[in-house]
Amino acid sequence: MKNGFLANLPISLSVFAYGIVLGSICNTKNIDYLQLMLMNIFIFAGSSQFVIVDMLSSNLSLTTIIGSAILVNMRYFLKGTTLDKLFLNSSIKQKLLIMHFVTDESWAITMKSMKEKDINVYFLLGGSLCIFLSWILGTSIGYFFAELIIEPKNYGLDFTFYAMFIAILTTMYKSKNDFLTFFVTAIIAIILEKLLGNSIYILISAILGSFFSLIINKKARNE
């Protein structure tokens, strides 16, 4: 757990930064601190929390809000399948608890570490808790100091969300096939987002991108 925690500290700075943005948005949209903390604890997914907060101020139905959040988070089903080796000796309760805290960041660091050294599921948990604490701290500061962060762009906070995913991609880049997968998946996502107009494009583009990766890697092995 300690090793996982320390391995995620660098990227947790980005999580802390865009947590500040969410906290300040919640303050300006009259979402109280308790509601924000309950979202952090029971949802704990930055992208879907941004979606939820935006939708709450648009007077949309609860069904629409919940459905959109689920669609955004369905990528974790795909990510969960890549962690099966770590969970071989874990009970259902352990799997549910640990997967609740898994984030894009802790997943990426764990996947990278699995290729380089022998780790267990507690490495994943330690990294996820590091991200969780950074998120709690960032959203709290953003909420209570919202008046000082009226324009996140002035502090570069609007770019931290993108910077974090760029950092994740660079840690996972190994060959030109990886670059092709990233590029094709991004193009698919952009097209589907325009065509579909809702969050289902995230799941579909991830699945199509995964199939593309399988095809080009299989072709590379056969050559």
- What integer pLDDT is reported at residue 218 of this predicted model? 80
Q: How far is CA 89 from CA 15, 74, 84, 94, 102, in A?
A: 30, 24, 10, 10, 18
Q: Is 195 exposed, middle or buried (0-12, 13-18, 19+ CB in 10 A)?
A: exposed
Range from 38-42, 175-179, 207-211 carrying the lowest mean pLDDT: 175-179
pTM for this model (two decimals):
0.74
- DSSP track, 55-112: HHTTT--HHHHHHHHHHHHTHHHHHHHTTTTTTTT--HHHHHHHHHH--HHHHHHHHH
Q: pLDDT tens, 84-93?
A: 888 988 899 9
Give the length of the chain: 223
Query: In the predicted model, is pLDDT for residue 154 greater than 70?
Result: no
Q: Chain centroid to CA 55: how far? A: 19
